[in-house]
Amino acid sequence: MADFIDKAKHKAEELTGKAKENTGKATDNRDLEAEGKGDQTSGGLKQAGDKAGDAVDDVKRAFKND
């Protein structure tokens, strides 16, 4: 269950970053735009880590089933 919650938080971080970036662009606020890009990058990296962890778990399960 914690994995699902973490994945949801990471996706939300990415989406919030996109919203911040767009708001920064619309209001000509470069700091907010940059913060949004940073949030997107952070969320995306965390999601990549989630996927890598899932792949490791899949390999472990495959070897247990043999």
Query: How far apart are the C-alpha atoms of 40 and 18, rounded to whole Å?
Result: 6
pLDDT at 42: 97
| Number of structural domains found in the chain | 1
3-state secondary structure of 41: helix
Range of the domain at 32: 2-65
More confidently predicted of 32 and 1:
32
pLDDT at 18: 98
pTM higher than 0.75: yes
Model pLDDT, residue 32: 98
Q: Give the whole-angstrom CA distance, residue 26 versus residue 17.
A: 14
